[in-house]
Amino acid sequence: MSQILDAYRGLKLGDRWDGAPKVVRWAVMLLVIAFAFYLPYLNILPFAYIRTDLSSTGSDWASVLFLIVVYMIVAVGLNVVIGLAGLLDLGYVGFYALGAYSIALFGSTNSPVVGALQSRFGFSEEWAVPFAVCIPIAIVMSLIAGVFLGAPTLRLRGDYLAIVTLGFGEIIRITARNLDNVTNGAAGITQVPVPPGPEIDGRNFFNTIDAERWYWLALTVLLLIIFLARRLEHSRVGRAWLAIREDEDAASVMGVAGFKFKLWAFAIGATLGGLAGLLFGSKQQYVEPNAFMVNLSFLFVAMVVIGGSGNIFGALLGAFLLTYLPERFRAFVDWRPFAFGVALVAVMILRPQGLVPSRRRAREFEDRRHEAEEAAADV
Amino acid sequence: MDFDNLINGLDRATLDGITRGSIYALVALGYTMVYGVMKLINFAHSEVFMVGTWTVLGVYTVLGATSSSGTGMVIGATLLALIAAMLASAGTALAVERIAYRPLRKKGAPALIFLITGIGCSMVLVEVFGQVLKYFFGPPFGRVLVNVPAVLETKTVFTIPGVDLAISNTRILIIVGAIVMMVALDTFVNKSRLGRGVRAVAQDPDTASLMGVNQERVIMLVFVLGGAMAGVAALLFTIQYDSTKFDIGFIIGLKAFTAAVLGGIGNLRGALVGGLFLGIVEVYASAIWDSSWTNVYAFVVLVVVLMFRPTGILGESLGKARA
């Protein structure tokens, strides 16, 4: 194992990438993106073995790909909060649920909210808020929730944030379950709207059968978000987050307004979580409270930390592994949580910096390890 | 809003709240001590409690104790269950420390990683009872609610005159038991030599180790003590609720941690205050509004208290207590 890791380190992939000519970088990137779009039709041996629908009990490959990409969006959003700003958010599922519920509450003819709007303004029975309007609603809802949750709690010490956010995730779920006359309670909301598109073969462009179209949509959103997140990471805001993560006191002495930038990170993370939830709810066309259990929050955090917090590609890898592996090994469904727990402990003990940490983060870890060793040697 | 409901049943609700709060407080001790010494939220502590409840069930099953057993059997089984649960919970806590936290401490990993391994350990323990043991031994293990025999039969001992409130033997045992354990622990930490070591490490780990306190041993001691308290809580919980489940730890642990933060994390007396406060608030709020929102009330109280008093009701002071 360690030999493989050493060999991998010897390659110095990151340095080579930075040193390569721009043309090569663009070509490689385009190739990777093209391959990603081709994935639903993957049929070339031996790569086809990664498909999840090889046996009759397997899950639909394109749907799995869609879920992977949605969780990747989540991981990129949570990476801003945990990896860049160093805030532990254990209630991320709350924002994800808010996104899904926003589109369901305003876009579905089945929702009590739309019903109330219909009778209030005398609209017809088929009327609902259009999909395009639901997107800003979802974004604004999760943004507001992020600011409301963050404003009182981000002034507290970091450890308290973990427990308050954990509570927030539960509150959202319990609220969705109990408010029968707003959210239909445990029954959930059906007929969640899909994005508009031309009709093909007598079906909507986005329907429950052709999952690859959903995958392409989510992938496009993901690529856009990765681009924006990269820009953000290298901006003034990104540097401020880094400074806060490293040493908040030192950062504030240098004039970095800690609270303001932490709130920014929280709000941006919340928005991306809501966006991912919106995609998920729209694809399922059905939203119910039990889809947003606390375990999902732990899974999200695990994605970012196992992949290597602070590095977008680490977060993407973590999201891929933790979504793909359980789907690939569906036969062992009862054993999955156990294996997940064991893997979580094992990976973190053997490689606390994550599988592919950012280079800066890896050096920090190396530094801390030396300090710990020296401290131990002194005693 | 139904204030009449609360006023009419105020005595009963208060008793329920104190009972519930006593159990929260005992579990909260584990969180608060570990936090005081290591500045770490031990996420696996909820499962330490859960292991205790299963141990109680195991002892009852092995001894064949049921609700119709004789007096000698009842006392013997309950005492044995208490000792076994304390040992099992303390052992689990120690194992978690060894496996999940010590290797990371050696590497000087940041706090976030400790939380992740804690969550991992918690999942493993939950799944051991929900899946692994079921695979090997079948029921009662598995993902269902399991009955724990009510060995100690609930009897009314006396009635408070005037309000006509019946106090049962199990209530007395739970409340008195919890308070006795807390006083004992508080005395141990404040009066004994080992306790002084715990306070020293909580105050300043580096200076403490210069003064000859073995930091590793203090950390182990803290996990053992916290685990043992969770074991006591587990016995009291099974006496009150007569059941256990593989994932029972999660919500109790969450509440207990909330109680610890409410009272002032790192403060032993704060855990008692926070636990009782939280228990009573939950029961009162459920009586006024709706009991399906119980968990929401708990978190709203937490956020409100943290906003106005960020260090909790009594403040944080495992190390700063009178030396």
The 3-class secondary structure across B203-245, one letter per residue, is HCHHHHHHCCCCHHHHHHHHHHHHHHHHHHHHHHHHHHHCEEC
CATH number given to B3-142+193-308: 1.10.3470
Distance CA B62, CA B269 (A): 37
- Provide the 3-class DSSP secondary structure of residue B166: strand
Q: Please, is B221 exposed, middle or buried when counting C-beta atoms within 10 Å of its C-beta (0-12, 13-18, 19+)?
A: buried
CA distance A308 to chain B (A): 11
As a whole-number percent, the residues of chain A with pLDDT over 90 amount to 24
pLDDT at B222: 94
Query: 């609209």: which residue's tokens?
Result: A123
- Across the interface, of B105, B113, B257, the residue whose CB is closest to A348 is B113
Residues 331-370 of A with CB under 8 A from B: 334-335, 337-338, 340-345, 348-349, 352, 365, 368-369
pLDDT tens digits, B259-280: 998 888 888 888 999 999 999 9
First-residue to last-residue Cα distance in chain A: 32
- When mean pLDDT is compared across A155-159, A171-175, A301-305, B128-132, the lowest value belongs to A155-159
pLDDT at A249: 86
pLDDT at B323: 33
Mean pLDDT of B97-120: 87
- The reply to whether residue B303 touches residue A167, judged by beta carbons under 8 angstroms, is yes
- Across the interface, of B41, B103, B209, the residue whose CB is closest to A379 is B209
Q: Is A374 on the interface with B (CB under 8 A)?
A: no
Tokens of A195: 């994005």
pLDDT confidence bin for A9, thresholds 50/70/90: low
CA neighbor of B100 nearest in space, from B28, B51, B47:
B47
Check: CB of residue B65 under 8 Å from CB of residue A310: no
- The reply to whether residue A341 touches residue B115, judged by beta carbons under 8 angstroms, is no
pLDDT at B181: 92
Residues 74-113 of A with CB under 8 A from B: 82, 86, 88
Check: CB of residue B203 under 8 Å from CB of residue B319: yes
Q: List CB contacts (< 8 A) between A368 and chain B.
A: 107-110
Q: List CB contacts (< 8 A) between A301 and chain B.
A: 116, 119
A368, closest residue in chain B (CA to CA): B108
pLDDT at B322: 37
pLDDT at B318: 57
- The reply to whether residue B307 touches residue A298, judged by beta carbons under 8 angstroms, is no
Phi and psi torsions of B211, nearest 5°:
-85, 5
Distance CA B196, CA A69 (A): 53
- Across the interface, of A158, A301, A349, the residue whose CB is closest to B104 is A349
pLDDT confidence bin for B219, thresholds 50/70/90: very high
- The reply to whether residue B115 touches residue A162, judged by beta carbons under 8 angstroms, is yes
Q: List CB contacts (< 8 A) between A294 and chain B.
A: 250
pLDDT at A221: 93
Distance CA B235, CA B238 (A): 5
Q: Is A248 on the interface with B (CB under 8 A)?
A: no
pLDDT tens digits, A266-324: 999 999 999 999 999 998 888 999 889 888 898 898 888 888 777 888 899 999 988 88
pLDDT tens digits, A44-88: 777 777 777 777 667 788 888 999 999 999 999 999 998 888 888
As a whole-number percent, the residues of chain A with pLDDT over 70 amount to 93
pLDDT tens digits, A96-116: 999 999 999 888 888 888 888
Query: 């340095």: which residue's tokens?
Result: A15
DSSP string, B54-90: HHHHHHHHHHT--TT--HHHHHHHHHHHHHHHHHHHH
Report whether pLDDT(A15) > 60: yes
pLDDT tens digits, B277-295: 999 999 998 888 877 888 8
- Across the interface, of A157, A160, A344, the residue whose CB is closest to B119 is A344
Query: Which domains can be identified in chain A, with CATH numbers?
Result: 62-378 (1.10.3470)
pLDDT confidence bin for A11, thresholds 50/70/90: low
A149, A303, A333, A349: best mutation site toward chain B, by most B Cβ within 10 Å? A349
* Residue A61 one-letter amino acid: W
pLDDT at B320: 53
pLDDT tens digits, B59-71: 998 888 777 777 8
Report whether pLDDT(B224) > 50: yes
- The reply to whether residue B296 touches residue A305, judged by beta carbons under 8 angstroms, is no
- When mean pLDDT is compared across A68-72, A150-154, A345-349, the lowest value belongs to A150-154
CA distance B323 to chain A (A): 25
- Higher-pLDDT residue of A162 and B81 is B81
Q: List CB contacts (< 8 A) between B258 and chain A.
A: 163, 167
pLDDT tens digits, B16-41: 899 999 999 999 999 999 988 888 88
- Burial readout A342-351 (b: 16 or more C-beta within 10 A, e: otherwise): bbbbebbbeb
User: What mean pLDDT is reported for chain B?
Assistant: 87
DSSP string, A114-170: HHHHHHHHT--TT----HHHHHHHHHHHHHHHHHHHHHHHTTS-HHHHHHHHHHHHH
Check: CB of residue A80 under 8 Å from CB of residue A238: no
As a whole-number percent, the residues of chain B with pLDDT over 70 amount to 97
- The reply to whether residue B113 touches residue A334, judged by beta carbons under 8 angstroms, is no
Tokens of A51: 């498909």
Query: 């086809």: which residue's tokens?
Result: A48
pLDDT at B74: 85
User: What mean pLDDT is reported for chain A?
Assistant: 84
pLDDT at B102: 92
CA distance A122 to chain B (A): 33
Mean pLDDT of B32-53: 91
